[in-house]
Amino acid sequence: MANLAEITKSVETGNANGAAALTTAAVEEGADVNEVLSALLSGMESVGERFSKNEIYIPQVLISARALNRGLDIVKPLIEASGADKEQARAIICTVEGDLHDIGKNLVKMMFIGAGFNVIDLGVDVPAAKIVETAISENVQVIALSALLTTTMGKMKNVIDLLSEKGVRGSVKVMVGGAPITQAFADEIGADAYSADAATAARVAKAFVG
């Protein structure tokens, strides 16, 4: 039987080959792909928590992220295929201009995909103009913005201001997150939601689109 706890552990310990092998075995054995995804993400969540407590350092975070990605490469096509015949809500996700951190953003992306969203990932260091242009041309319902630097969190407000300037603020929900972001900051810039973690972000986004 698929051992989900072992999958979580392989990410926690940064065992990339183990993560790939265990994930492959789990899906071949017919495990629920969303449960496999949760097991992978849960490994990375605990790595994030341990990092926040200074129990581990950047290299370990990056090694775990590599293991996570090996597992995600296997489940992603299955999750996308499982939603292929449904009318999917559309969401943009990216890290704001000037900011290159993408580990948390990628976790949020996977949770959004798991929640049934068609996700447009614009990557990192994305200017407000590109986000707003894409939101309009792709008719998205949700924009999820990530920032990890105190120097880039202000770029989230640029996105909200530009949406207002273009007259489309009312037609899209803007969600924000990342280590320096707080509910108070989200309120201050007029975001629709702040989420502390990827799983909560996906739940909130889903509630927005009904």
Binds ligand B1M (CB under 6 A): choice among 126, 135, 148, 160 = 148
Nearer to ligand B1M by Cβ, of 37 and 148: the residue is 148
Query: How far is 125 from 144, CA to CA, in rounded Å?
Result: 14
Binds ligand B1M (CB under 6 A): choice among 105, 155, 157, 173 = 105
Binds ligand B1M (CB under 6 A): choice among 26, 99, 155, 186 = 99
Query: How far is 188 from 183, CA to CA, in rounded Å?
Result: 9
Binds ligand B1M (CB under 6 A): choice among 144, 160, 163, 189 = 144
109 binds ligand B1M (CB under 6 A): no
Query: How far is 156 from 104, CA to CA, in rounded Å?
Result: 16
Reported as type and span, the H/E element at residue 143 is: strand 142-146
Stretch of 18-26, 27-35, 71-79, 97-105 contacting ligand B1M, by CB under 6 A: 97-105
Query: How far is 90 from 119, CA to CA, in rounded Å?
Result: 6
52 binds ligand B1M (CB under 6 A): yes
Binds ligand B1M (CB under 6 A): choice among 74, 92, 178, 189 = 178
Least Å from the CB of residue 176 to ligand B1M: 6
Binds ligand B1M (CB under 6 A): choice among 48, 67, 163, 189 = 48
Reported as type and span, the H/E element at residue 63 is: helix 58-82
- Contact between 181 and 153 under an 8 Å Cβ cutoff? The reply is yes
For the segment 60-79, give every residue that binds ligand B1M (CB under 6 A): 61
Greatest Cα pair distance, the chain, in angstroms, is 54
**Residues across the chain:** 210
β-strands 193-194, 173-177 pairing: parallel
Binds ligand B1M (CB under 6 A): choice among 12, 67, 91, 101 = 101
Residue in 197, 27, 22 with CA at minimum distance from that of residue 111:
197
100 binds ligand B1M (CB under 6 A): yes
Reported as type and span, the H/E element at residue 177 is: strand 173-177
Nearer to ligand B1M by Cβ, of 24 and 134: the residue is 134
The contact set with ligand B1M (CB under 6 A) reads 44-45, 48, 51-52, 58, 61, 98-105, 107-108, 144-146, 148-151, 175-180, 195, 197-198, 201
